[in-house]
Structure 1
Amino acid sequence: MDKLSDKCLLCVNDQVIIGPSACELQKVVTKMNDSVKKRGMKVNVSKTKMTVFGKSESTTECDIHAEDEKVEQVKDFVYLGSTFTNDGKHGRDIERRVDTKNKVNGALFTIMNSKSISRQACFAAHNEV
């Protein structure tokens, strides 16, 4: 486990835990899990994801466990509105943001062309933005 040279990242309840190796990351996760249990809570492992960052798209398998369950390893995830990928590239993040913008613009276009809304209301709303 210690031979993993890539950085490991675990996203838990909008928290990011970074470890220099799988072994070190597992130690932190175990400590976090023990701390949560002492407070009468439980880690929701189904909502917990982890990734291994490297320089290529190939995935290094990494077994991290919480609550005696294996944490799902993913190639990408969204954190605070940004997409992080295991290869460190930004293409998917930019693509996701453009897609989101296009969906919003499409919805606004539909509203502005609606027969049930006056042109004055659309113009006023557009100028307030």
Structure 2
Amino acid sequence: MATRNKDIVRQALTELIGTGDVGSLAPLLSEDFRHHRPDSTSSTKTEWLDAVRAALVPLAGMRVEIMHVLAEGDHVVMHSRRHLPGGPEITVVDIWRLDGGLIAEAWEIIEPAAQAQANLTWWEPAAA
């Protein structure tokens, strides 16, 4: 099951980046799909597909370098580096939950690579 789930997630990303066709994602998502952001907001399948569609124009030409894909049970974790055209490199961790061969939930954490060093000491008190 874990291998099949990894294949579904890879297929979703490959089709989206390779073709730019957001419509190719829709059949891979469950009807009650939810996308969760670090700020505690969530979006529905339709809302998320609309947001992805809107982001594709400024992100055309983005290169994605998949660093790791890990799967256990119904969860797949993907760590990637994304090189934005004319923009920064970002590091992304996506967590996907699959149910019945469809992506049911997704969580996403994005960090500009240039800001990573500043975020390594978040626990230290600010200088007075």
TM-score normalised by L of structure 1: 0.25
Q: Which has the larger radius of gyration?
A: 1
Q: Which has the higher contact order (CA 8 A, sep 6+)?
A: 2
Higher strand share: 2
TM-score normalised by L of structure 2: 0.25
